[in-house]
Amino acid sequence: MAFDSGLAVLVLGVAVWTIAARDTFAAVVGFVAYGLLLALAWVRLAAPDVALTEAAIGSGVTGGLLIGASTRLRRTETAAAGEEPGPTLRLAAAVLCGLVSAGLAAIVLMLPEPAPTLAPQAAANIAATGLGNPVTAVLMAYRAIDTLLETVVLLLALVGVWSLAPDRVWGGFPGPRHHADPDGVLTFIAQLLVPLGILVGIHIFWVGSVAPGGEFQGATILAAMWILAMMAGLVDAPPVSRRWLRLLLIAGPAVFFAIGLAGFAMAGAFLAYPVEYAKLLIVTIEIPVTLSIAATLALLVAGPPERAPHR
Amino acid sequence: MSEATLYGLCGAVLVGLGLFGLIVHPQPLRKILAFNLIGGGVFLLFGVVARRGAAAGFGGDPVPHALIITGIVVAFAATALAIALLLRLFQETGRATLGSDG
Amino acid sequence: MSLALDALTTLAVSVGAFFFLAGTVGLLRFPDALSRLHALTKADNLGLGLVVLGLLFQVEGPFAALKLISVWLLTLLAGATVTQLIARTARPGGPPV
Amino acid sequence: MADFLVAAAGFVLATVALGLVRILRGPGDDDRIMAPQLLGTGGIAALLLLAEAMRVPAAVDAALILALLAAFVSAAFVKGFARPGADGA
């Protein structure tokens, strides 16, 4: 309990810092710390699957994305300083936000007893999926349509990002070209970490069927390693018009959707799996989904095309 | 007070803090940061509901856990899109604020 | 037997925690960025190593032990190289990254 | 044993938090780019201790992820600083 109180105070402390820091870069550093502390909180709340996701996405990849943006926008900081709202507006905002917090806190204190739960249903039906991890079972079986739509949402976000490219570079390379310095430290780090990271990513994905982990966490690590290789200049980002890239991006949702449709024939409903093949089908979906998510996340971080394609 | 309640109260305060940042910061990047803070708070509130639903040998209700994981990934996608929009705005106008420019 | 193992764990983890404290003290007291970086990485990596050592007395099975050791090795490798990178950036007029 | 390990995790976290205060205050960014390194190591130690204390082996996987991504975030930091504002725009 003392540990939890201390952790909660720390989380609130870095949150206040993230809001109050003068310098945007300092605020981003606070946000990375926030994600990491939340990952610890998720372990304490007996949600290791969420802890893995938070450590990978909430802190890691989002942190990398925000840092890139904050260093690019550095010069605009002073210009924005004059546009801060006056004391009256700040006070009104503080009162409003205090009320929102108080309302939510009251709800937390008044949550029904005993708490409603779907855990017994999940436990009763997990055998039908052949999986050992209830969270993966929920993601891939009972709420599979959510997960299918989520992969589509990621693609839509990527289409949104790409659509911001100026016409002359449409279909070109995302982000600046980084050049590898053969003796550089960054090159060395990338050469060292990328293979290890790919291994860890596959491990996290693979254990997801029986233990905490799964396609989102594994895919995020793979994405981070691809971005690291791009930053170090070991590989260039592919032009977004490449056919193999487009195929890679839609492979996951397409296979997911196809097996979902096959569910009508095999088990009488969309995304229903026949019991004897459930695990095989789920893994068949998960492998392309992992690769597609990894590619989508990496390209979301890489941003819209900035350099015209070679012709 | 149980530890779940403690984290729930923490989540409630985080939502308020993030909302405050979202309102008072003029820079869009700070607003994006604040929005992600709110997200963390909301997920924590969800996690408390999950933790209280511990049953059948699970440490928490797996259904909210799955929803939180979905939420974290979608929040990332939204953040990436917002940042791309912001950088494009900066590229076009040389400014990175949304203020009244007339 | 388990009492002896527990005692070893307590000892190693305590010493490890002490090194984390030492790292923070260095961070607070040292005068410039490079020496603070030095204090931070050396002391904290040693602290983490001792924590891992202490936990090795508790784990069941060689696979779990191997995993703990690989977490430490990965941290060491990544830490050592990234620290180089940070130091080059922190040092004015240092060689390019 | 579990109580001791949780207490140790709390202690490590507290020292890291103290260091974080120093780093975040700056004034320069030289110190701030150390933050992922500091947090990474301390966070990994806390996660490993909690994994054993609470019998959640998956927290070791979280530590593994953190070890990788702390390096990734540090690299992103340094990359951003090596050419401030040089790219894009």
Residues A141 and A278: beta-carbon distance below 8 Å:
yes
> What is the mean pLDDT of the segment spanning B95-99?
66
> What is the mean pLDDT of the segment spanning B82-100?
79
Asked if the peptide bond before residue A304 counts as cis, ω within 30 degrees of 0, the response is no
Q: Tell me whether residues C28 and D49 touch, CB distance under 8 A.
A: no
> What is the mean pLDDT of the segment spanning A28-49?
90
Question: Which range of residues forms the domain containing residue A107?
Answer: 85-116
pLDDT value, residue A152: 92
Max CA distance (Å), chain C: 57
User: Residues of A with CB below 8 A from D89's CB?
Assistant: 72
Higher per-residue confidence, A194 vs D29: A194
User: Residues of A with CB below 8 A from C74's CB?
Assistant: 196
Backbone torsions φ then ψ of A190, nearest 5 degrees: -65, -45
pLDDT band at B7 (very low <50, low <70, confident <90, very high): very high
Backbone torsions φ then ψ of A123, nearest 5 degrees: -65, -40
**Does A227 share its domain with A297?**
yes
Of the candidates D29, D35, D61, the beta carbon closest to that of A33 is on D35
**Does A260 share its domain with A156?**
yes
The residue to which tokens 């998960």 are assigned? A286
Cβ-Cβ contacts under 8 Å between A and D: the total is 163
Which DSSP symbol is given to A277? G
pLDDT value, residue B75: 93
Cα C76 to chain center, whole Å?
7
E strand segments, chain D: none
Closest CA to C32 of D31, D25, D35: D31
User: Residues of C with CB below 8 A from A181's CB?
Assistant: 96
Which DSSP symbol is given to A307? E
The nearest CA of chain C is from the CA of A197 a distance in Å of: 10
**Any B CB within 8 A of A94 CB:** yes
Question: Which range among A173-177, A250-254, C48-52, D85-89 shows the weakest confidence by mean pLDDT?
Answer: D85-89
pLDDT band at D87 (very low <50, low <70, confident <90, very high): very low
The C-alpha atoms of residue A100 and residue A94 are separated, in whole angstroms, by 10
Which DSSP symbol is given to A59? I
Percent of chain A whose pLDDT exceeds 70: 96
Residues B38 and B22: beta-carbon distance below 8 Å:
yes
What's chain B's average pLDDT? 86
Amino acid at B77: A
DSSP code string of A81-138: HTTPPPHHHHHHHHHHHHHHHHHHHHHHHT--SSPP--HHHHHHHGGGGT-S-HHHHI
pLDDT band at C94 (very low <50, low <70, confident <90, very high): low
**Does A49 share its domain with A103?**
no
Burial of A255 (0-12, 13-18, 19+ CB in 10 A): middle
Contacting residues for A217 by C-beta, under 8 A, at least 6 apart: A49, A52, A53, A56, A204, A205, A208, D65
The nearest CA of chain A is from the CA of C76 a distance in Å of: 12
Residues A67 and B33: beta-carbon distance below 8 Å:
no
Asked if the peptide bond before residue A238 counts as cis, ω within 30 degrees of 0, the response is no
**Any C CB within 8 A of D57 CB:** yes
Q: How many residues make up chain A in this entry?
A: 311
The C-alpha atoms of residue A153 and residue A132 are separated, in whole angstroms, by 27
Q: Is the pLDDT of residue B101 over 70?
A: no
User: Residues of A with CB below 8 A from C67's CB?
Assistant: none
The C-alpha atoms of residue C95 and residue D10 are separated, in whole angstroms, by 39
Written in H, E and C, the secondary structure of A153-191 is HHHHHHHHHHCCCCHHHCCCEECCCCCCCCCCHHHHHHH
pLDDT value, residue D84: 45
Question: Which range among A37-41, A73-77, A251-255, B69-73 shows the weakest confidence by mean pLDDT?
Answer: A73-77
Closest CA to B38 of B63, B24, B21: B21
Per-window interface: A 129-188 vs B, CB < 8 A: 134-135, 137-139, 142-143, 146-147, 150, 153-154, 157-158, 160-161, 164
Nearest chain B residue to A81 by CA: give it: B26
Alpha helices in chain C (DSSP H): 2-29, 33-56, 62-90
**Does A306 share its domain with A241?**
yes
pLDDT value, residue C33: 75
The C-alpha atoms of residue A138 and residue A150 are separated, in whole angstroms, by 14
Q: Tell me whether residues B81 and A1 touch, CB distance under 8 A.
A: no
Fold of B3-93: Helix Hairpins (1.10.287)
The C-alpha atoms of residue A212 and residue A30 are separated, in whole angstroms, by 27
Structural domain contains residue A79? no
pLDDT value, residue B59: 76
The nearest CA of chain C is from the CA of D6 a distance in Å of: 11
Closest CA to B45 of B22, B71, B74: B71
**Does A283 share its domain with A156?**
yes
Residues D32 and A71: beta-carbon distance below 8 Å:
no
How confident is the model over D8-56, as pLDDT tens digits? 999 999 998 888 888 787 667 777 777 777 888 898 999 999 988 888 8
Contacting residues for B92 by C-beta, under 8 A, at least 6 apart: none
Q: Is pTM beyond 0.80 here?
A: yes
Q: Is the pLDDT of residue A254 over 80?
A: yes
Query: Chain A interface, mutation test: which of C75, C76, C84, most A Cβ atoms within 10 Å?
Result: C84
Q: Tell me whether residues A185 and C85 touch, CB distance under 8 A.
A: yes
The C-alpha atoms of residue A284 and residue A277 are separated, in whole angstroms, by 10
pLDDT value, residue D86: 39
Contacting residues for A175 by C-beta, under 8 A, at least 6 apart: A230, A237, A302, A303, A306, D87
Structural domain contains residue A110? yes
User: CA of C55: how far to CAs of A39, C6, C13, in Å?
Assistant: 20, 9, 8
> What is the mean pLDDT of the segment spanning A194-216?
86
Report the complex ipTM.
Answer: 0.90
Q: Is the pLDDT of residue B71 over 80?
A: yes
Q: Where are the domains of chain B?
A: 3-93
User: CA of A247: how far to CAs of A164, A242, A262, D49, D78, in Å?
Assistant: 21, 9, 21, 43, 33
Q: Where are the domains of chain C?
A: 2-90
Which residues lie across from A174 on neighbouring strands? A305
Q: Where are the domains of chain D?
A: 2-82
Q: Is the pLDDT of residue B43 over 90?
A: yes
Residue C95 structure tokens? 């060689």
Within 10 angstroms of residue A2's Cβ, the number of other Cβ atoms is 10
How confident is the model over A84-105, as pLDDT tens digits? 778 888 898 899 999 999 999 9
CA angle, corner A184, sides to A178 and A190, nearest 5? Answer: 70
The residue to which tokens 């090159």 are assigned? A187
Which DSSP symbol is given to A146? H
How confident is the model over A225-250, as pLDDT tens digits? 999 898 888 888 888 888 899 999 99
C to B contact (≥3 Cβ pairs closer than 8 Å): no
**Does A153 share its domain with A258?**
yes
> Subunits with at least 3 CB pairs below 8 A relative to chain C?
A, D
CA angle, corner B61, sides to B60 and B67, nearest 5? Answer: 115
Structural domain contains residue A80? no
Higher per-residue confidence, C6 vs B34: B34
pLDDT value, residue D89: 30
Residues A173 and A239: beta-carbon distance below 8 Å:
yes
How confident is the model over C21-80, as pLDDT tens digits? 888 888 888 877 777 878 778 888 888 999 999 888 888 888 888 888 989 998 888 888
Residue A56 structure tokens? 């990978």
Query: Chain D interface, mutation test: which of C35, C41, C58, C71, most D Cβ atoms within 10 Å?
Result: C71
How confident is the model over A264-286, as pLDDT tens digits? 888 778 878 887 777 888 888 88
Provide the 3-class DSSP secondary structure of residue B98: coil
Amino acid at A75: R
C to A contact (≥3 Cβ pairs closer than 8 Å): yes
Query: Chain D interface, mutation test: which of A19, A65, A67, A73, most D Cβ atoms within 10 Å?
Result: A67
Q: Is the pLDDT of residue B80 over 60?
A: yes
pLDDT value, residue D88: 34
For chain B, the residues whose C-beta falls within 8 A of a C-beta of chain D are 87, 90-91
How confident is the model over C8-20, as pLDDT tens digits? 888 888 898 888 8
**Does A9 share its domain with A131?**
no
The C-alpha atoms of residue B95 and residue B88 are separated, in whole angstroms, by 10
Higher per-residue confidence, B37 vs C44: B37
The C-alpha atoms of residue C65 and residue D48 are separated, in whole angstroms, by 12
Task: Quote the crossing angle between the two packed helices A185-207 and A278-302, to the nearest 10°.
Answer: 150
pLDDT band at A77 (very low <50, low <70, confident <90, very high): low
> Subunits with at least 3 CB pairs below 8 A relative to chain A?
B, C, D
User: Residues of C with CB below 8 A from A188's CB?
Assistant: 81
User: Residues of B with CB below 8 A from D88's CB?
Assistant: 87, 91
End-to-end CA gap in chain D? 56
Nearest chain A residue to B61 by CA: give it: A119
Q: Is the pLDDT of residue A21 over 70?
A: yes
**Does A52 share its domain with A95?**
no
How confident is the model over A126-168, as pLDDT tens digits? 777 777 777 887 887 778 888 888 899 999 999 999 998 888 8
Number of domains in chain A: 3
pLDDT value, residue A79: 60
CA angle, corner C79, sides to C76 and C85, nearest 5? Answer: 145
Cα torsion through C9, C15, C20, C23, rounded to 10: -160
Nearest chain A residue to B92 by CA: give it: A166
**Does A12 share its domain with A106?**
no
